[in-house]
């Protein structure tokens, strides 16, 4: 234990830097995933046929082993000379985040009480007014749940990004494995877990803060 | 004024829910759509604000074909109340009530004043309830909020689909009375769906009785009760339903409100009835034609006047409209 504490003291700033790197990679991926996934999820509620197809593709994507998906990214991005590093890892994470975000957005908007929607139309709201004033606010907790799942998945999968040179906490773990250094492995894993908990905690706070209190339960 | 002209609705899949219905709702009238479940009441109502398309025929609103109007504008001019109240859980009571004024771009000040006025109408404190959320209100309060939300931008026309259906009978009657009071003040043209005969009798200036999408009779409640045009109408109201409501009142109440007829000393075949007799028994006596003239007497045997079927009928009609002042404290 003492040895580990010593190890932490020596490596503190490196661990911190890698954590930030990890967080930036995941954060950027989630941000882009949101910009794609939420509007797409909303759009799909108006197109049943497309919804089925898109949700299926997104499901399949999530079943691809992460290492394989990262592996595929390398040759693809090599074409534009970005085979390793941030970009392929980022793209892979964006793809992984899609399913929970699209699916939850789609389901949440879909499940808005039809009577409520009916009342909104009957009162003379335009579709866009209905979306922003009624549907999104009432769907918000479920959409947030999807985002939280995506973030936690991405923080975990982000570890693999180290294999394609994108840095992050995966670096500690991969190095630990190659060197047989348990301190590195444990430190990396714990840091990933803590990062995930902090991120989730933060998102729960946002969710609570912006969920109309009357629909919170 | 709303005019239905051969209005027909056939749903995808072939169900014809409304079949060539013709009637007019005059300005300031409450017309109740009544009939068994599935007879097309909701469908007919929802065609007015174009939540359902009209398959055939027309609906004219103040002489304009509803299909020629912009659907969004049309809906903002028509108040809409539904059974589940349809309040938005993410909005406060004030926000809920002020939706249409907000959509219409009213100023903050004007909205504030309007909200207070509307809350006063239903005797709820705007300060106390304005910032609350719908789930923090009782069912009856929510339903009343649903009603004033529909009234918010002062639309000339109101559509109400079983607005009080989810409430227990005692609260329902209270709210019906309150609504009739409000209606006296605001004088809207109202289409009101109900499947409750008592409610229909109470609320309606006229009733549209539907069966399988067809209009069976369009008349005042008392006409429909006393002169049903078909076996269906007669059976629908039941043998005693209307009369049942009369049993709540005595001849004295009738006398106080509309007075009795002059009696004719010359008629031989006369019987007397005590002024404290309830109207239900009185009516059955009159219908049985036990005598040519029925004279009302007080406890001391003084002759107060004569009573006839027409007077009871008139009272029935009056009682429906004036109910709030009659039984409110009951
Ligand atoms: N969206 C729809 N698609 C197909 N058929 C429908 C649709 N809505 C209603 N119907 C049918 O149209 C008929 C009339 O329905 P409607 O809801 O107007 O009845 P209602 O008189 O309001 O009944 P209730 O008293 O039960 O509310 C019914 O046979 C119903 O099954
Ligand atoms: Mg109905």
Q: Tens digits of per-residue pLDDT, B120-176?
A: 999 999 999 999 999 999 999 999 999 999 999 999 999 999 999 888 888 888 899
Q: Does the structure's ipTM exceed the value 0.90? A: no
CB-CB contact of B161 with B111 (8 Å): no
pLDDT at A107: 94
| B13 DSSP 8-state letter | T
Angle, to 10 degrees, between the axis of helix B279-287 and the axis of helix B309-327?
170
Mean per-residue pLDDT for A46-64?
A: 89
> Please, what are the domains in chain B?
2-238 (3.40.50.300), 246-326 (3.90.1280.20)
A contacts of B90 (beta carbons < 8 Å): 134, 137-138, 212, 214-215
Contact with chain A for residue B60, Cβ under 8 A = no
Residue A19 CA, ligand 1 centroid: distance in Å: 59
Percentage of chain A lying above the pLDDT 90 cut: 63
Tell me the nearest-neighbour CA distance from B71 into chain A, angstroms: 8
Number of domains in chain A: 1
Long-range contacts of A84-87 (CB under 8 A, 24+ apart): A84/A164, A84/A165, A84/A166, A85/A164, A85/A165, A85/A166, A86/A25, A86/A166, A86/A167
Measured from the Cβ of residue A46, the count of other Cβ atoms closer than 10 Å reads 10
Contact with chain B for residue A120, Cβ under 8 A = yes
A42 found inside a domain: yes
Atom 10, ligand 1: which residue's CA is nearest?
B17
Measured from the Cβ of residue A48, the count of other Cβ atoms closer than 10 Å reads 9
A51 found inside a domain: yes
Mean per-residue pLDDT for A29-47?
A: 95
pLDDT (tens digit per residue) in A133-156: 999 999 999 999 999 999 999 999
Report the alpha-carbon angle A11-A14-A15, nearest 5.
80
Q: Is the CB of B194 under 6 A from ligand 1?
A: no
Percentage of chain B lying above the pLDDT 90 cut: 63
Q: Is the pLDDT of residue B6 over 70?
A: yes
Q: Is the pLDDT of residue A217 over 80?
A: no
**Atom in ligand 1 nearest the alpha carbon of residue B193:** 22
CATH of the domain at A191: 1.10.3720.10
Give the DSSP letter string of A19-61.
HHHHHHHHHHHHHHHHHHHHHHHHHHTT-HHHHHHHHHHHHHH
> A38 is in which domain, residue-wise?
2-210
Q: Is the pLDDT of residue B67 over 70?
A: yes
Mean per-residue pLDDT for A24-42?
A: 96
pLDDT at B324: 36
A112-116, A204-208, B193-197, B243-247: range with lowest mean pLDDT: B243-247
A216 found inside a domain: no
Mean per-residue pLDDT for B23-31?
A: 96
A217 found inside a domain: no
B136/A212 Cβ within 8 A: no
A215 found inside a domain: no
A106 found inside a domain: yes
Mean per-residue pLDDT for B266-294?
A: 85
A30 found inside a domain: yes
């Amino acid at each position: 234990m003492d040895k580990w504490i010593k190890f932490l003291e020596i490596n503190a700033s490196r661990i911190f830097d890698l954590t930030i790197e990890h967080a930036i990679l995941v954060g950027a991926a989630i941000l882009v995933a949101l910009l794609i996934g939420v509007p797409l999820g909303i759009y799909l509620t108006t197109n049943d046929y497309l919804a089925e197809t898109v949700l299926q593709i997104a499901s399949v994507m999530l079943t691809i082993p992460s290492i394989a998906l990262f592996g595929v990214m390398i040759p693809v991005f090599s074409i534009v000379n970005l085979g390793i590093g941030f970009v392929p890892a980022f793209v892979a994470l964006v793809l992984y985040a899609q399913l929970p975000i699209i699916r939850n957005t789609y389901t949440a908007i879909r499940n808005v009480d039809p009577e409520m929607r009916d009342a909104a139309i009957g009162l003379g709201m335009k579709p866009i007014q209905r979306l922003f004033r009624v549907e999104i606010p009432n769907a918000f907790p479920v959409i947030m749940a999807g985002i939280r799942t995506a973030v936690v998945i991405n923080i975990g999968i982000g570890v693999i990004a180290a294999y394609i040179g994108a840095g992050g906490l995966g670096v500690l773990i991969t190095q630990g494995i190659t060197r047989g250094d348990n301190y590195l492995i444990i430190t990396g894993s714990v840091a990933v877990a803590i990062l995930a908990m902090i991120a989730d905690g933060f998102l729960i706070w946002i969710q609570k803060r912006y969920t109309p209190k009357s629909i919170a339960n | 004024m709303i005019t239905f002209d051969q209005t027909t609705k056939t749903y995808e899949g072939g169900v014809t829910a409304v079949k060539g219905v013709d009637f007019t709702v005059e300005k300031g009238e409450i017309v109740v759509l009544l009939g068994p479940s599935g007879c097309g009441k909701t469908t007919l109502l929802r065609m007015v604000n174009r939540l359902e398309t009209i398959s055939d025929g027309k609906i004219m609103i103040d002489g304009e074909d509803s299909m020629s109007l912009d659907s969004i504008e049309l809906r903002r001019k028509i108040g809409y109340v539904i059974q589940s109240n349809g309040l938005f859980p993410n909005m406060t009571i004030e926000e809920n009530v002020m939706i249409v004024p907000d959509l219409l771009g009213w100023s903050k000040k004007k909205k504030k004043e309007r909200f207070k006025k509307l809350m006063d109408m239903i005797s709820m404190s705007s300060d106390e309830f304005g910032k609350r959320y719908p789930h923090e209100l009782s069912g009856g309060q929510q339903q009343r909020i649903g009603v004033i939300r529909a009234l918010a931008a002062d639309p000339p026309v109101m559509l109400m689909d079983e607005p009080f259906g989810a409430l227990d009978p005692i609260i329902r009657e209270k709210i019906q009375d309150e609504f009739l009071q409000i209606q006296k003040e605001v004088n809207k043209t109202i289409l009101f769906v109900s499947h409750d005969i008592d409610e229909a009798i109470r609320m309606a200036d006229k009733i549209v009785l539907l069966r399988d999408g067809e209009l069976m009779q369009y008349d005042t409640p008392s006409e429909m009760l006393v002169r049903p045009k078909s076996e269906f109408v007669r059976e629908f109201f039941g043998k005693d339903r209307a009369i049942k409501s009369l049993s709540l009142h005595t001849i004295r109440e009738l006398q106080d409100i509309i007075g009795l007829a002059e009696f004719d000393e010359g008629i031989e075949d006369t019987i007397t009835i005590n002024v404290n007799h309830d109207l239900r028994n009185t009516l059955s006596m009159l219908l049985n034609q036990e005598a040519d003239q029925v004279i009302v007497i007080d406890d001391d045997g003084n002759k107060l006047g004569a009573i006839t079927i027409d007077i009871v009928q008139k009272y029935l009609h009056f009682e429906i409209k004036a109910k709030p002042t009659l039984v409110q404290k009951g």
